[in-house]
Amino acid sequence: MLPTDQYSPRVHDLLLLRAGIVSSADVAKPAWVSSSPASNLWVVVRRAIAPDGLVAVGIRGINRQQRWGGFADVANVKERLHPSQLSFHMACRTRIVVPALAALSWLEGQLDKSELDWGPVGSVGFELATGQQVVTGTSDLDIALFAPTRFTRETARELWSVMKVAAVKVDVRVETLYCGFSLEEYAREETGQVLVRLPESRQLATDPWSVSVIKDEK
């Protein structure tokens, strides 16, 4: 667990709220959100600009279609988990038979000696953090790779050559300081530009690490 007073929430972080209070963003709060626990609610930090003192978060329901975004008070955060703090050993031992979790165990072995800041997100990350068995037999493995400094397309191809041979489909989202983009797309030799995700938009960029300059020029 990361100290809540020394660390600013980043996209993909999982937050445990003391009180399950999440205010509405642009979309009205659905009924299933209102029935969520009143305390000790796990939410994920999403890519959106939040007012001062708040953090943009997403709530997941029981079904895959149940996803909703709102804002939580930073002071309400009880625990904070970064994807790199999540690993297969946190899962129930019997869950090794679930393909996405088995793939995570395999990938941890492949990247054991690397110094990469990476970890599982999506349903796998949520299950490891909360203990709620939400990963199914058809779940993909979603990974976040945090890269504040630029790496080459050759490095991207080397990383993707490992990811793509996993037993399940792996989706790797590279996170710079300002945006996120697909490792697979960046690794393709024929790709001149990649689609980057910003808090309020998406755009094509040749260099994802300089996308903030592009944004400021508008």
**Helix, strand, coil share of the chain (percent; to 5):** 30, 30, 40
Is 13 designated active site?
Answer: no
Which of 117, 140, 207, 216 is the catalytic position?
140
Is 142 designated active site?
Answer: yes
d(CA 21, CA 9): 17
d(CA 209, CA 12): 19
Alpha carbon dihedral 32, 33, 34, 35, in 10-degree steps, equals 60
DSSP label at residue 6? S
d(CA 105, CA 208): 29
87 contacts: CB under 8 Å, gap ≥ 6: 104, 108, 119, 128
Task: Please provide residue 184's backbone torsions phi and psi, each rounded to the nearest 5 degrees.
Answer: -60, -45
Which of 142, 171, 207, 216 is the catalytic position?
142
Q: What residues are annotated to the active site?
A: 140, 142
